[in-house]
Amino acid sequence: MTEQATGVSHGGSSPARRDGSAPTKVGIMGGTFDPVHHGHLVAASEVAHLFGLDEVVFVPTGQPWQKDLDKVTPSEDRYLMTVIATAENPQFRVDRIEIDRSGPTYTLDTLRQMRATYGPEVDLYFITGADALGAILSWHNVDELFDLAHFVGCNRPGHHLSDTGLPEGKVSLVEVPALAISSSECRERVRKGEPIWYLVPDGIVRYINKTGLYLES
Ligand code: NAP
């Protein structure tokens, strides 16, 4: 089976699409995905529609240095769940770029690698939660980040981005009602023995049941 057929790419990702043509607008969906849920999938689909993206590349975070790493599920489990969740959508694929890179995960490194892979002609859109985007000004080399990609923050209903210092035209916010689902709530429900059917794809329920993820806090 080829990489394109599985929708998975390993490290140096191939920018070729299923029909062999090169994409011109690519979404990079960054998140910890612990676990990936239907809110993420709806958000990616909605942003792809709104911005006319050719594809959305899900990039599970390798080592989210700003979090207590003992509490974050091993990256290989988060990666596999993301592959399972996106497998049926030909517009979605998953990249191991952050999983395979050693050290703390910085979006700047990811976007530099993606830019090198896709070349200067392709428009990159970095998609993530608006909460995560709110901290964007504390990231390294903000000006270079904005040169590398347009940023799209996905909002839960009623959420407002508190930081008004974001540069004009570089950031878009999209309200996604399905983001009422949250990864932390899914983890908590599993820990308490409550169902997560329909909050996450069926394959994710089965993966979590099979591996025993999230049973302990
Ligand atoms: P987070 O703090 O766990 O998430 C913040 C909020 O955004 C949560 O409500 C989360 O909901 C939501 N969210 C996260 N990813 C999302 C997505 N792709 N689509 C929609 N909602 C999303 O954030 P995180 O997951 O650790 O980080 C998000 C991205 O920002 C990652 O790519 C990460 O590497 C990057 N980041 C980079 C730096 C840096 O370079 N210095 C620093 C921080 C974050 P759920 O919990 O339900 O997902």
For residue 138, how far is its CA from the centre of ligand 1 (angstroms)?
A: 14
Query: Is ligand 1 within 6 A of the CB of residue 32?
Result: yes
Nearest CA to ligand 1 atom 13: 129
Long-range contacts of 208-212, Cβ-Cβ distance < 8 Å, separation of 24 or more: 208/35, 208/81, 211/77
Nearest CA to ligand 1 atom 44: 132
The helix/strand count (H/E) of the chain reads as 8, 7
Percent of the chain topping pLDDT 70:
85
Query: Is ligand 1 within 6 A of the CB of residue 43?
Result: yes
Nearest CA to 131 out of 95, 81, 80, 182 is that of: 182
Query: Is ligand 1 within 6 A of the CB of residue 201?
Result: no
Tens-digit pLDDT profile for residues 77-103: 999 999 999 999 999 999 999 999 988
Residue 187 amino acid letter: R
- Predicted confidence (pLDDT) at residue 34 exceeds the cutoff of 80: yes
Q: How far apart are CA 215 and CA 121, in angstroms?
A: 46
Nearest CA to ligand 1 atom 34: 61
Nearest CA to 28 out of 144, 122, 138 is that of: 122
Query: Is ligand 1 within 6 A of the CB of residue 125?
Result: no
150: left (phi over 0), alpha (psi -120 to 50) or beta: beta
Predicted confidence band of residue 10 (pLDDT cuts 50, 70, 90):
very low
pTM, two decimal places: 0.91
